[in-house]
Amino acid sequence: MSHDLSQLDATAQAELVRKGEASPRELVDAAINRIEKVNPAINAVITPRFEKARADAASRSLPKGPFQGVPFLLKDLGVWSAGDRYCAGMKLLRDLDWREPQDSFLAARYRAAGLVFVGKSNTPEFGSVTSTEPEAFGPSRNPWDPSRSTGGSSGGAAAAVASGMVPAAHANDGGGSIRIPASECGLVGLKPTRGRVSMGPAMGEVWSGLVADHVVSRSVRDSAAILDATAGPMVGDPYWAPPPQRPFADEVGAAPGRLRIGLRTQTGNPDISTHPDCDLAAREAAKLLESLGHHVEEASPAALDDRDVFAPFVSLLASWTARDVEAWQTKTGKSIGPRDVEPHNWAMAEIGRQVSAPKYIEAVVWLQAHARRIQQWWADGFDLLLTPTLAEPPPPLGEFTSTPENPMAGVVRSGPFAVFTSAFNITGQPAISLPLHWNGAGLPIGIQLVAAYAREDVLFRVAAQLEQARPWISRRPAIHA
């Protein structure tokens, strides 16, 4: 086979299979070879699934979906595959060699699309900080600079895609965990609308609706086509996003028309200033959008400056952390104490145990009202909001470590990396990070576009327009297959 598969996106690899120019087994074998070559340097894949993947690819029962035979990684958090190790970043589950007996609903949809799971990607414990450095598996390293973070919590997935191991990988996002790693690793990262992708069968929602599942990818078309394959509810879901008028893949290349776009480059938090590299990335994107015929002005929802959001947000996350600890204690039959989870998660669980049921409901009600105030800005006539994805470039590894003496250090350090992203987990709006800028040190700096609720179509049209105007897919990090 003459193709360099490390340079092809998932759509192109699937096309090789459809044309008979490559077999699923060839695609999977090549991906396994790339993982074995590159993974020791960046620690993105923590659970290989190589022999099962080869068997799946060679099977006559491999679904003939739109991505038949394309190698893929599952993030080791929130989604599981039958019989494979599942750890959620926890040492306890690693040591127990914990396995789930059935596919989650999303894993089954990935399989139905023809994707072949070659392994599981690294993630911080419970996905609760914005750098992938779990005690259980060690840090994932950024292929653009291995001394730097990959972001979190989908940092292993992003490192694997950026380094050419696989063309796309599962990711999820509760405060920026798709968009943050996409920015730090130079990828496309869409957080879909709340309820677009089901979390069944175990959950109807996670973190009271903050979390959404999708992928990190190298191309806009992959993000759109994979969402087509996975969108839609499972029977019994408590709510779901309105279905699109046509496939998301059809929006790639469609004319977006002239859009009204607001620009926001400062955080609204006096304790967090936007790094000049990140400010520049957003302002250059604004100029590019103007050159494409859009109207851009410095404007954003006033509610984004509301500092009162911190307390209810922490109450909600802490309550869910306490629930997660208790749920794993029940499932495993093991007593879980402060030595069994990382210090920041134990501290959050302790906070969560002090949140009463009325206080929890009060936090949810406050955040829902806050979401209404933010979304009114789109209802008043704006099409998109443009921001930097992050307030800082990719940071050095080691800055997110928590200790029993300072358990919240990693959570506090995560602030600049979720300050532009987390609001749209609260609102449930779709938001995408695009790799339009690299700084003087050669590190990727993403920009974020946010659309109104259920308007991924607008994001895909504009993202594809930007991708064509300033292509990024040929860029290669220092560590690449």
CA distance 120 to 48: 7
* 481 residues of the chain, pLDDT tens digit each: 668 999 999 999 999 999 999 999 999 999 999 999 999 999 999 999 999 999 999 999 999 999 999 999 999 999 999 999 999 999 999 999 999 999 999 999 999 999 999 999 999 999 999 999 999 999 999 999 999 999 999 999 999 999 999 999 999 999 999 999 999 999 999 999 999 999 999 999 999 999 999 999 999 999 999 999 999 999 999 999 999 999 999 999 999 999 999 999 999 899 999 999 999 999 999 999 999 999 999 999 999 999 999 999 999 999 999 999 999 999 999 999 999 999 999 999 999 999 999 999 999 999 999 999 999 999 999 999 999 999 999 999 999 999 999 999 999 999 999 999 999 999 999 999 999 999 999 999 999 999 999 999 999 999 999 999 999 999 999 999 9
Q: Please check whether residue 183 is in contact with residue 148, taking contact to mean a CB–CB distance below 8 angstroms.
A: no
- Nearest-CA neighbor of 467 among 148, 6, 5, 9? 9
Angle between helix 220-230 and 10-18 (nearest 10)? 70
CA–CA distance, 120 with 85 (Å, rounded to integer): 9
Question: Scanning the structure block, which residue is given the tokens 């929602």?
Answer: 205
Q: What is the structure's pLDDT at 1?
A: 64
pTM above 0.85, yes or no: yes
Burial label for 427, CB within 10 Å (0-12, 13-18, 19+), is buried
* Cα separation, 314 vs 412, whole angstroms: 12
Cα separation, 145 vs 477, in Å, equals 8
d(CA 176, CA 421): 5
Report yes or no: 208 and 246 within 8 Å, Cβ to Cβ: no
Residue with tokens 């074995």: 36
**pLDDT, position 284:** 98
Contacts of 354 (CB under 8 A, 6+ apart): none
Q: For position 254, what pLDDT does the model report?
A: 98
Residues forming the active site:
75, 153, 177
Q: What is the CATH number of domain 5-297+384-397+410-469?
A: 3.90.1300.10
User: Position of tokens 């490390």?
Assistant: 6
Structure-block tokens of residue 461: 């049209």
pLDDT at residue 3, rounded to an integer: 84
CA 138 from centre of chain: 19
3-state secondary structure the chain: CCCCHHHCCHHHHHHHHHCCCCCHHHHHHHHHHHHHHHHHHHCCEEEECHHHHHHHHHCCCCCCCCCCCCEEEEECCCCCCCCCECCCCCHHHHHHCCECCCCCHHHHHHHHCCCEEEEEECCCHHHCCCCCCCCCCCCCCECCECCECCCCCCHHHHHHHHCCCCCEEEEEECCCCCHHHHHHHCCEEEECCCCCECCCCCCCCCHHHCCEEEEEECCHHHHHHHHHHHCECCCCCCCCCCCCCCCHHHHCCCCCCCCEEEECCCCCCCCCCCCHHHHHHHHHHHHHHHHCCCEEEECCCHHHHCHHHHHHHHHHHHHHHHHHHHHHHHHHCCCCCCCCCCHHHHHHHHHHHCCCHHHHHHHHHHHHHHHHHHHHHHHCCCCEEEEECCCCCCCECCCCCCCCCCCCHHHHHCHHHHCCCCHHHHHCCCEEEEEEEECCCCCEEEEEEEECCCCHHHHHHHHHHHHHHCCCCCCCCCCCC
Domain locations along the chain: 5-297+384-397+410-469
